Amino acid sequence: MNRILVTGGAGFIGSALVRHLINNTDHAVFNIDKLTYAGHLASLADVSENERYSFLRADICDEKTVSEAFETFKPDWVMHLAAESHVDRSIDGASDFIQTNIVGTYKLLEASRSYLNKHSNPDFRFLHISTDEVFGSLGEEGMFSETTAYDPRSPYSSSKASSDHLVRAWYHTYGLPVLITNCSNNYGPYQYPEKLIPVVLMKALRQEPIPVYGKGENIRDWLFVDDHVRALEQVIENGRLGETYTVGGHNEIKNIDLVHHICTILDEIRPRSNGQFYKELITFVQDRPGHDLRYAIDASNIKKELGWVPEETFETGIKKTISWYLENEQWIQEVTGSAFKFPRLGLDS
């Protein structure tokens, strides 16, 4: 058993990781989360009473509290997922992204270094979970890999790129035992409805216009969240210290094709009462500033070194996702509340 400190464990990917660790391993998990708009303990209801799980509501930028958490819990591993993560929000207000993603990562690195200086632990590891958006935009060909140069285009991706560089610097300068992963777009159950797939689902179910940026030509590589957390487990257990691993789902699809696919599935399993097709709700809105055209991940290295491959195809993953949202409307209501407004730019353009 290892003692794992997870930051951002009430968020989308973080809660999936916590559920996986509690339900499928014998590790003890200490979850630190600030519980901002996208972090919800409702996503952890199934594990909240487990004796191997504990939670602290705190800001990772709070140096004193974080240091005390290290001393109290005495982690073997740190899995750092706490981040502001929505590009649209970063365009509208970058300050929180700079603070949490850059300053917060710095505080965690320093807390880890101070802890190790006091308590020698040869098994200690610090896994920093990042994004493929740090690499910028691809043309029609090529894929991101561990050796791709950084070229961030938004405040969000720039803040994540900065945090990646800090983590590497603490490895080379101080010898902190770190690892980094850069993943493609995640989807699945419990995702807060600001990202594309849950936005499409909620808009469709509310019989409201479904917003699509530009002409919907942007291409993303989609990774089912449970596949991602299995990759994270493999990396922190068996990855080479100081290394980066790119994690992708092998599912490239245009946004407009994705939206049409979701609409088609909904037509089959929950037809509209007026007999019309869901695709008739699609509305093209003004594109996001600096919207990257295409992302695609070359995940051959993590397959070769660690044996990880995604288990879900996009067909199976999207059906599981849609079914979960249809069956868990109470969770949606609980995390959004009556005053919820879709935080996507362009809706009023």
> Residue 197 is encoded by which pair of tokens?
């797939």
Exposed / middle / buried, residue 140 (Cβ in 10 Å: 0-12, 13-18, 19+) = exposed
Count of CB atoms situated within 10 Å of the CB of 334: 14
Does the active-site annotation cover 156? yes
Catalytic residue among 133, 194, 292, 312: 133
**Residues in Cβ contact with 98 at an 8 Å cutoff, skipping those fewer than 6 apart:** 155, 159
Interior/surface letters 18-38, b for 16+ CB within 10 angstroms, e for the rest: bbbbbeeeebbbbbbbbebeb
Radius of gyration (C-alpha) of the chain in whole angstroms = 20
**b/e 241-260 (16+ beta carbons within 10 angstroms → b):** eebbbbbbbbbbbebbebbb
How far apart are alpha carbons 31 and 28 in whole angstroms?
Answer: 10
Distance CA 217, CA 291 (A): 11
- Asked if 133 is an active-site residue, the reply is yes
Contacts of 326 (CB under 8 A, 6+ apart): 205, 269, 270
Q: Pick the catalytic residue from 156, 171, 190, 192.
A: 156
| Residue of 59, 76, 88, 132 with catalytic role | 132
Catalytic residues: 132-133, 156
